[in-house]
Amino acid sequence: MRINLTQKERTLLEDQKSHEQICIDKYNRFANEAQDPQLVQLFQTYATQEQQHLDTINQMLVGNVPNIQQGQQNLQAPQTQQVGQNPQGQNFQTSMQDQSLCADLLMAEKFISGAYNTAIFEFTDTNARQALNHIQKEEQKHGEGLYNYMQNHGMYNPK
């Protein structure tokens, strides 16, 4: 479906485009830095989804609203294991580096989800709002996955 963007909508999409690129870069870089293989897998999964988000934003910037049912997969986060075990059942020690990487990304996901919330309310086209809402929900799932990983590994205590 074709849309004509207002200047404000274009500006918001350009902002989201830069946010998505930063997320892709961080998830890929952090996947190389993480020590826990389970965390590496989580970061790689999210990097793939962030690339899909960027592709959607780029389509919208040229006036196309993608069909989100056909254009994007709804990838689920890998399930997290209990504290002290990776997916192969081997013991590992939670590293401060992994905790720092997770905290950084959780903060980024919180920010980006909020930025999508603002953009959704500013768009005039219903289909464009639905596409942005779909991305926002996936960003929230990323935050939830990071939160769960951190909580399961003693890195985050919400009390």
Q: Is residue 44, in this structure, part of any structural domain at all?
A: yes
Q: Which long-range contacts (CB under 8 A, 24 or more apart) does 128-134 make?
A: 128/3, 128/9, 128/60, 128/65, 130/68, 131/56, 131/60, 131/65, 131/66, 131/68, 132/16, 134/68, 134/72
pLDDT tens, N- to C-terminus, the chain (159 residues): 899 999 999 999 999 999 999 999 999 999 999 999 999 999 999 999 999 999 999 999 999 998 776 444 444 444 444 334 444 443 345 689 999 999 999 999 999 999 999 999 999 999 999 999 999 999 999 999 999 999 999 898 877
In the chain, the number of structural domains is: 1
Q: Residue 120 belongs to a domain with what CATH number?
A: 1.20.1260.10
pTM recorded for the entire structure: 0.83
For residue 136, what are the domain limits?
7-62+93-152
* Nearest CA among 49, 99, 54, 98 for reference residue 74: 49
